[in-house]
Copies of this chain bind each other. A is one copy, B any other.
Amino acid sequence: MALKLDALPGRAIIYEVGPRDGLQNESCTVATDEKVKLIESLAETGLPAIEMTSFVSPKWIPTLADGPEVARRVRRRPGVRYSALVPNRQGLDAALAAGMEEIAVFMSASETHNRRNVNKTIAQTLAAFEELVPAARAKGAAVRAYVSTVYGCPYEGEVDPKKARAIAKRLLELGCFQISLGDTVGVANPSQVERTLALMLEEIPADAIGMHFHDTRGTALANVLVGLSLGISTIDAAAGGLGGCPYAPGAAGNLATEDVVYMLDGMGIETGVDLDKLVDVSAATQRVIGREFPSKVLRATLAVRARARREASH
């Protein structure tokens, strides 16, 4: 099939996952105050959607144990959607009690990854969601779903995209508004993305699909380009590239928000995000975390700014 760069969407929605998916994969503990500040600063950059924390048991994600407090404390900015990760009914109740109006559920497209991650088969997970998703909807909450390992599983290798599509369709039937298709291991390439997303689009509308690429092997932006050319315009990303790859400690994980915003800006695709403000937020956050973030635009922008300061002082 042919990809068209002249049929690109005029606008893309960046779904910021740094405060949840990013922090979850950082080894250091970040103070609740810093998390609240990060989320509020991210909203100030113009990001339209922010996943801010998780209501998964602190046993599983200790770094996000303060989820309820974060969710209660963050000052909401009008027009911004805030969501939180929810694994089960208990998490849903806690999220609703903390004022969340949007939640995200998660599962994997591969049996082994799903079992290792949530200790259930795919069928058991879907059965649980048959209660959980409608329960959330009944309380007025919007539900997004993550499907992990769509482009490859760390245990099983390649994953049949038809299996991922069947899962995605079922989640939409249950009442999810969008399925974020995850390249959890960061192995996808543009040809595979084209085949997979074309298959999805045969039975799922473009606006019900989110692209969640990890940049572990540098292909995330090329993969995003393919999705955009197919009319898919929701892109998950984490400020600075916050969070590493759980399967390759020391390697990159989430696509950096700066990198995708830079590319879309140049292509004339509106995101509403102020790139300079976003660089400020990431620069402050990497000081808190204590390591250099992988975002190339972040590094280049900070290097250019440092050079300008040196030249101005001469």
Contacts and interface: CB of A to CB of B under 8 A. Distances in A.
Given A251-B296, A303-B245, A262 B5 contact: no
B263 A296 contact: no
Nearest to A221: B222
A152 to B, nearest CB: 10
Contacts of A296: 215-218, 251-252, 294
A4 B3 contact: yes
Contact of A191 (B5, B245, B304): B5
How many subunits of this chain does the assembly comprise? 2
Contacts of A3: 2-5, 229
A6 interface: yes
A304 B248 contact: yes
A219 interface: yes
Nearest to A295: B218
Nearest to A255: B218
Interface of A: 1-6, 8, 186-192, 194, 215-219, 221-222, 224-226, 229, 245, 247-252, 256, 259, 262-263, 265-268, 294-297, 299-300, 302-304, 306-307
Nearest to A249: B303
Contacts of A191: 5, 8, 266-268
The 4 A-B pairs at the shortest CB distance, nearest first, are namely A189-B266, A248-B303, A218-B296, A251-B300
A52 B307 CA distance: 30
A226 B222 CA distance: 9
Contacts of A6: 1-2
A1 B304 CA distance: 34
A278 to B, nearest CB: 13
Contacts of A251: 296, 299-300, 303-304
Nearest to A225: B222
Contacts of A302: 250
A268 B189 CA distance: 10
Given A217-B300, A222-B225, 6 more contacts: A2-B3, A3-B5, A5-B190, A189-B263, A217-B259, A222-B263
22 contacts: A1-B5, A2-B2, A2-B4, A2-B6, A5-B190, A5-B191, A5-B194, A189-B265, A189-B267, A190-B225, A215-B218, A215-B296, A218-B221, A218-B262, A222-B222, A222-B263, A225-B226, A247-B304, A249-B303, A251-B296, A251-B299, A252-B299
